[in-house]
Copies of this chain bind each other. A is one copy, B any other.
Amino acid sequence: MHLISYDIQDDALRLQLAKLLIQFGLHRIQYSVFMGRLKTSRLPKLQKALQHLQTEKRWHSEDSIMLLPLHQYSEDNLEFIGPLPDRWLEITEKIHTLIL
């Protein structure tokens, strides 16, 4: 599981990043926070794509993207206050546990 959060000033660049993350199968958890499981083979592609964003002229010097690999410990102890994001069980794959 990975968590990706960002601060991107330019609206179009932010939208481009959000679309990229969705293409990679990640899910929007909060406005600027995405989460999901990335296939090992796809991680280097995503890392390259994220690093490439820095070269865009719409990238501001204060912009940032954080890519955080999560351990099972984080998933097991995560606390969410407020309505759970859409497809939360699918994201965390707890649905398998619930169905079996």
Contact = CB atoms under 8 A, between A and B. Distances in A.
Interface in A49-68: 50-51, 53-54, 61-68
A19 to B, nearest CB: 17
Quickly give the copy total for this chain: 2
B68 A82 contact: no
A82 B69 contact: no
A33 to B, nearest CB: 5
Given A3-B68, A33-B5, A61 B83 contact: yes
Contacts of A81: 50-51, 53-54, 64-67
6 contacts: A32-B32, A33-B66, A50-B79, A54-B82, A65-B82, A66-B80
